[in-house]
């Protein structure tokens, strides 16, 4: 008899059809990814709030010298608003099992690009004598990428295949 391979849906994966994964295993994988997503979301929440509440200190920490009201407004919008938006998205989506993997993957892509572009900009602009706070940001971004990568790797709902015969 010919054998046909069919990919399981996420619902079958979640329910452990075919004995591949138990409900408990699925919950553990999703909970791990959820914790990673929530931790990173909280970091973005605090960072975005700091950029909105204390524009001078946060801009100075990042090496910016803001010279006029427009610069303050732009910094607060881009750094504060964008980071708060990421935080709200991550924390909101972490509540739902079906969104944890996708939200973690999206956050991983964003965070990886932040890190890559930060490193690229140092090389491009040949700025090697950066402030210690800048290097701290590189380490933090690297840690975020590692945490999110672990979350994505643990929660990846890869299609589980099974073979069956048609009689």
pLDDT, one tens digit for every residue, the chain (167 residues): 444 334 444 555 454 444 455 566 666 778 888 998 999 999 999 999 999 999 999 888 887 889 999 999 999 999 999 999 999 999 999 998 888 889 999 999 999 999 999 888 877 876 667 777 777 888 889 999 999 998 888 777 655 455 555 55
The span from the CA of 31 to the CA of 27, in Å, is 6
- Enumerate residues 6+ apart whose C-beta is below 8 A from 4: 163, 164, 165, 166
The sign of the torsion formed by the CA atoms of 43, 45, 46, 52 equals positive
pLDDT at 116: 94
Rounded (10°) angle between helices 23-53 and 97-125? 50
Determine phi and psi for 5, rounding to 5 degrees.
-105, 130
- β-partners of residue 164 are 4
pLDDT at 144: 92
Residues 26 and 14 sit within 8 Å (Cβ to Cβ) = yes
Predicted TM-score (pTM) of the model is: 0.73
Domain boundary assignment for the chain: 34-156
pLDDT at 158: 59
């Amino acid at each position: 008899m010919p054998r046909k391979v069919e990919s399981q849906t996420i619902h079958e994966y979640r329910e452990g059809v075919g004995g591949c994964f138990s409900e408990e295993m699925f919950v553990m994988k999703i909970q791990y990814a959820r914790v990673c997503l929530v931790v990173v979301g909280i970091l973005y929440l605090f960072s975005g709030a700091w950029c909105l509440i204390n524009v001078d200190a946060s801009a100075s920490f990042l090496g910016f010298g803001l010279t006029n009201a427009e610069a303050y407004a732009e910094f607060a919008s881009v750094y504060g608003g964008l980071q708060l938006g990421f935080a709200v998205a991550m924390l909101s989506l972490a509540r739902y099992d079906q969104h944890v993997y996708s939200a973690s993957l999206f956050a991983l892509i964003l965070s990886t690009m932040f890190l890559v572009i930060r490193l690229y900009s140092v090389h491009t602009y040949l700025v090697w004598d950066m402030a210690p706070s800048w290097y701290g940001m590189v380490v933090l971004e690297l840690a975020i990428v590692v945490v999110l990568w672990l979350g994505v790797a643990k929660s990846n709902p890869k299609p589980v295949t099974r073979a069956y015969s048609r009689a």
